[in-house]
Amino acid sequence: MIFDTHCHLYDEKFNENINEIIKRCFENNVSLIMLVGDNIKNSKTCIKTSLEIEGVFSSIGIHPMEIDSISIEDIEKEIQDNISNKTLSIGEIGLDYYWEKDEDTKKRQKEYFIKQIEIANKLNLPIIVHARDSVEDAIDILKKNPCLKKGVFHCFSGSVEQMKEIVKLGFYIGLDGPVTYKNANTPKQIAKEVPLDRLVIETDSPYLPPVPKRGEINYPYYLNYVIEEIARIREVESKVIEEVTFSNGKKLFNI
């Protein structure tokens, strides 16, 4: 059984109905799915879908590239008003310096990140961290503003040294399609060295499709390719990676 711990099946890139995609996932060994919001509107879709389908869970949060969609003063009320018993994390939240170069906006991203860590602590939930070209700053913020229920660094793209620091903070590391890419040396090194009890797998679907599906829309059932590559790197059976990441995902989200 496979747990896709991070996907965006509501994305407009999909032509199919979200329920049809999920049905196909269940038919292809993906038995648990975390639908991750990036703004309040999409988070509401995640929550609604999770309430309708067993095995599907939701996360609510404001992505760093979505901070203009809501005032920082309104975040807590919107989360409190929409959260359900199947909303198991706050996210995805964090920092994105790949797209954002303006220093004032980076500062606002940090403020939104810290605010949502505080909300997660009030709700006793873990967080899903987006940290693109900003891992060091994200680590620094979490050291100064600890998340009580920890969380995961989604689609981790930092160094081995940063990975070890994150693991020491009690967080999980999420690996996606890029670990299958031929010249993706850092993700492959992370896959080799991350403690197995701190590893989860995810698609970020519809983005980041693995080899041999590059250039296509990504689906949760393509995680087989991610599992196989991690197993190859670690020199273990694929079943080992499938089982341990499934168990880790359940621990991460307290399922």
Residue 100 has pLDDT above 90, yes or no: no
Please report the pLDDT score of residue 9 as a whole number.
Answer: 98
Q: pLDDT tens across 196-218, in order?
A: 999 999 999 999 999 999 999 99
Domains of the chain listed by start with CATH number:
2-252 (3.20.20.140)
pLDDT in tens, 29-47: 999 999 999 999 999 999 9
- Which amino acid does the sequence have at 221? Y
Q: Looking at residues 178-207, what average pLDDT do you find?
A: 97
Q: How far apart are CA 60 and CA 135, in angstroms?
A: 21
Q: In what order do the strands lie in the sheet with 87-96?
A: 2-7, 30-36, 56-60, 87-96, 127-132, 151-153, 172-175, 199-201
Say what the pLDDT of residue 235 is.
98
